[in-house]
């Protein structure tokens, strides 16, 4: 945060303030700060969401395969079980979130 001088009353004000606290004059941010401000994020398109859904279902499918493999292998491979559980939980959550976002985007 940079301090700057109000062009109306000469008081030191924050460059992040919308207006001077002393006189209420609008504050113009320095050109460098104005450029640094990022535009608001655009919502993902339906095409993007469909791609996310495909990835989410793929993660879920991989988790299912890993779970079946871990179940088949009775050697007690904790890492395999952990990865299978992680992929299943992440896949389920990601799929549900993407389905809701897709449903909301189509409305
Ligand atoms: Zn002022």
DSSP per position, 20-50: -TTT-PBPPPPHHHHHHSPPPPPPPPHHHHH
What residues are paired with 5 via a beta bridge? 12
Please indicate, yes or no, whether residues 63 and 95 belong to a single structural domain of this protein.
yes
Please indicate, yes or no, whether residues 55 and 99 belong to a single structural domain of this protein.
yes
Residue 79 lies in a domain: yes
Residue 25 lies in a domain: yes
Residue 55 lies in a domain: yes
Helix, strand or coil, per DSSP, at residue 11? coil
Q: For residue range 47-87, list pLDDT tens digits in order.
A: 999 999 999 999 999 999 988 888 887 776 788 889 889 99
**Closest to 60 in 3D by CA, of 24, 98, 29, 23:** 98
Residues, Cβ < 5 Å to ion ligand 1: 6, 8-9, 11, 20, 22-23, 25
Residue 51 lies in a domain: yes
- What pLDDT does residue 33 have? 58
Cβ-in-10-Å burial (0-12, 13-18, 19+) of 34 comes to exposed
Residue 41 lies in a domain: no
CA 10 to ligand 1 centroid distance, Å = 6
Q: Which domain holds residue 95?
A: 46-106
Number of domains in the chain: 2
Q: For residue range 22-40, list pLDDT tens digits in order.
A: 899 988 766 655 566 677 8
pLDDT exceeds cutoff 90 at 99: yes
């Amino acid at each position: 945060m940079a301090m700057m001088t109000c062009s109306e009353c000469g008081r030191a004000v924050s460059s992040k303030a919308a207006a001077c606290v002393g006189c209420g004059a609008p504050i113009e941010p320095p050109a460098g700060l104005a450029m640094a401000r990022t535009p608001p994020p655009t919502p993902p398109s339906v095409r993007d969401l469909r791609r996310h859904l495909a990835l989410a279902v793929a993660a879920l499918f991989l988790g299912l395969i890993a779970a079946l493999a871990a179940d088949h292998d009775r050697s007690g491979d904790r890492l395999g079980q952990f990865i299978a559980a992680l992929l299943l939980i992440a896949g389920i959550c990601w799929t549900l979130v993407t389905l809701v976002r897709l449903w909301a985007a189509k409305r």
